[in-house]
Homo-oligomer: A and B are copies of this chain.
Amino acid sequence: MLNNISIKIYRDILHENNSIARENKSLLKNKMIKMFNLIGSPGAGKTSLLEGLNKHLLNKKIRFAVLEGDVETTRDSERLDKLGIKVSQLLTGGSCHLEASLIHQALNDLDLSAIKLIFVENVGNMVCPAEFDLGEDAKIAVLSVTEGEDKPIKYPLLFHEAKAVIITKTDLLPHLKYDLDSTIGFIHEINSKIKIFQVSALMDRGILDFCEWIINY
């Protein structure tokens, strides 16, 4: 009984979320802003990726903002703020994913005339954030080489939904037993059309390619 009710409520939550996500999408389209939703495990390298992108976007004079999702703490926001990045902190208060309503509030507080791109850094979690559209142009999966090869088939929804996968921390490859071709095979098993970037934020490797893909998306 409880299960039937909770499935219904969950559907209602997703339904309401999707309706607000459509509003977000329409608002951003009117303002000619593209929004990307970065999803990956805790410590996959989402914040480092944004730190790495900052330099290239500055070089190209493209102004952007970050909506920083966390269960607790403002640590990632502080890291980005130190680099002069415009960042809004979204605290979920225990919840394991961002929902469209929180993004909606944040968009209302931003000066949307001053930016061309928005990056959402979702809560560190490979499962739940993939279920919630935020009104983004694309979800981007962030997967570090230290997580092992098989995560795309173990957590397939994210890789099914995402338009690109960023394989991070490739500078560590010489020190790992890790088969990159196997990872890429697993990703393509779930989604044959997805774009794959191999990056090292530490070495500034592959970030420019990803940056150009974002700009031309």
Taking beta carbons and an 8 Å cutoff, which residues of A are in contact with B? 2, 5-6, 9, 12-13, 16, 41-43, 70-73, 75, 94, 96, 123-128, 144, 146-148, 150-151, 153-157, 169, 172, 175-177, 202
Contact = CB atoms under 8 A, between A and B. Distances in A.
A42 B96 contact: no
Copies of this chain: 2
A43 to B, nearest CB: 3
B42 A154 contact: yes
A38 B13 CA distance: 30
Nearest to A150: B75
Contacts of A94: 157
A12 B125 CA distance: 24
A175 B176 CA distance: 10
Contacts of A155: 42, 71-72, 124
Contacts of A124: 41, 126-127, 151, 154-155
A150 B70 CA distance: 12
B9 A73 contact: no
Nearest to A123: B127
Given A124-B155, A153-B75, A148 B43 contact: yes
B73 A150 contact: yes
A11 to B, nearest CB: 11
Contact of A72 (B16, B41, B153): B153
A146 B9 contact: no
A148 B203 CA distance: 17
A158 to B, nearest CB: 10
Nearest to A8: B9
Nearest to A15: B2
Leading 5 A-B pairs by shortest Cβ distance: A43-B147, A96-B127, A146-B146, A41-B41, A175-B175
A71 B148 CA distance: 16
Given A41-B147, A125-B128, 15 more contacts: A2-B12, A5-B9, A6-B9, A6-B13, A41-B41, A42-B151, A72-B154, A96-B96, A96-B127, A123-B127, A124-B127, A127-B128, A128-B128, A172-B175, A172-B176
